[in-house]
């Protein structure tokens, strides 16, 4: 067992000894159409029976992706904004769902995106909004249930919100540096830190990927990570629907 396996296995052993099971989930952003990288992602997830949640960009997607995903019963589809276009000004962090445009214009786009994906994907559609660049203006959030959204998914620790939040917590990409895969020991260290928080406070561990820009380091990490975690009895890779259901049960007090 190398250090990669050892670090995460020791933490999951602690969960097992306590009679607990850690829920993991996989979210991949920016899907539009069938591509070679998407095929590779689907292949790796399927090989380890890891349910996959795709955040799909509504403005540019259509029947080809829907037809391809009909063959993937463990794949869910969520709404990745509208067109993944930055409307922030120079010097600001990129944001499609910000306060730079009239609220009604933004909500109309999100409503179109919701309806488009719900119609295309039907049984695999989950009413979750994944904001591009993981950013959304707080003033928009109270309006989302009126469009049909039941949850919001961004990046980082969950914060109080007017809507259920189910986030991702470990990002495989080195966006500020190489723009390739991050060091795998750094990724495992972040995973273990998240697990330790979950051990005391509950929640899930969301892994964030972007299949269109993965280098070999990311694919290698995902394969190794899935191999280590899926064989451990204290880890359960779950669908986003199951994660949401558990979150709702904890919120209303019906779950432990």
Degrees, nearest 5: CA angle 212-74-130: 50
CB 16 within 8 A of CB 199: no
* DSSP single-letter state for residue 128: E
Instruction: Examine residue 139 and state whether it is found in any structural domain, yes or no.
Output: yes
* pLDDT tens column, 62-109: 999 999 999 999 999 999 999 999 998 888 899 999 888 999 999 999
255 is a domain residue: no
Banded pLDDT at 242 (limits 50, 70, 90): very high
d(CA 29, CA 130): 8
155 found inside a domain: yes
Domain of residue 85, CATH code: 3.20.20.370
Dmax over CA atoms of the chain, in Å, equals 55
Its pTM stands at: 0.95
Q: Which of 171-175, 197-201, 248-252 has the lowest mean pLDDT?
A: 248-252
4 sits in which H/E element: helix 3-17
Residue 63 lies in a domain: yes
- 149 domain-assigned: yes
Query: Is residue 96 a part of any domain in this protein?
Result: yes
Name the DSSP letter for residue 28. E
pLDDT score of 251 more than 90: no
Q: Is the C-alpha dihedral spanning 151, 239, 45, 195 positive or negative?
A: positive
Closest CA to 109 of 120, 98, 94: 98
Per-residue pLDDT at 256: 31
**Structure token digits, residue 42:** 């689907």
Asked whether residue 10 is assigned to any structural domain, the reply reads: yes
Residue 57 · residue 32 · CB < 8 Å: yes
Q: What is the pLDDT of residue 194?
A: 98
**Domains contained in the chain, number:** 1
- Mean pLDDT over 193-213 rounds to 97
Q: How far is CA 48 from the centre of its chain?
A: 17
Reply yes or no on whether the pLDDT at 21 is more than 80. Answer: yes
Q: Is the pLDDT of residue 252 over 90?
A: no
Give the residue numbers spanning the domain of 177. 3-247
CB–CB of 166/129 below 8 Å? no
The answer to whether residue 170 is domain-embedded is: yes
Residue 190, pLDDT score: 97
For residue 152, the cross-strand partners are 129, 165
């Amino acid at each position: 067992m190398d250090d990669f396996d050892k670090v995460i296995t020791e933490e999951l052993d602690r969960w097992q000894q306590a009679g607990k099971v850690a829920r993991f989930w996989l979210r991949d952003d920016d899907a539009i159409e069938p591509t070679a990288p998407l095929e590779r992602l689907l292949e790796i997830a399927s090989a380890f029976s890891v349910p996959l949640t795709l955040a799909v960009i509504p403005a540019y997607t259509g029947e080809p992706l829907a037809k391809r995903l009909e063959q993937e019963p463990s794949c869910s589809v969520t709404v990745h904004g509208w067109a993944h276009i930055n409307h922030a000004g120079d010097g600001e962090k990129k944001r499609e769902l910000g306060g730079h445009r009239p609220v009604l214009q933004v909500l109309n786009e999100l409503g179109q995106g919701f309806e488009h994906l719900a119609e295309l994907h039907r049984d695999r559609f989950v009413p979750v909004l994944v904001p591009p660049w993981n950013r959304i203006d707080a003033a928009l959030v109270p309006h989302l249930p009126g469009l049909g959204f039941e949850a919001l998914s961004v990046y980082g620790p969950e914060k109080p919100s007017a809507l259920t939040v189910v986030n991702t917590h470990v990002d495989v990409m080195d966006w500020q540096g190489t723009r390739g895969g991050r060091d795998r020991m750094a990724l495992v260290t972040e995973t273990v830190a998240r697990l330790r928080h979950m051990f005391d406070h509950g929640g899930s561990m969301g892994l964030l990927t972007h299949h269109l820009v993965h280098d070999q380091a990311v694919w290698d990490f995902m394969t190794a990570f899935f191999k280590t975690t899926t064989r451990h009895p204290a880890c359960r890779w779950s669908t986003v629907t199951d994660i949401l259901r558990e979150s709702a049960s904890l919120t209303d007090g019906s779950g432990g």
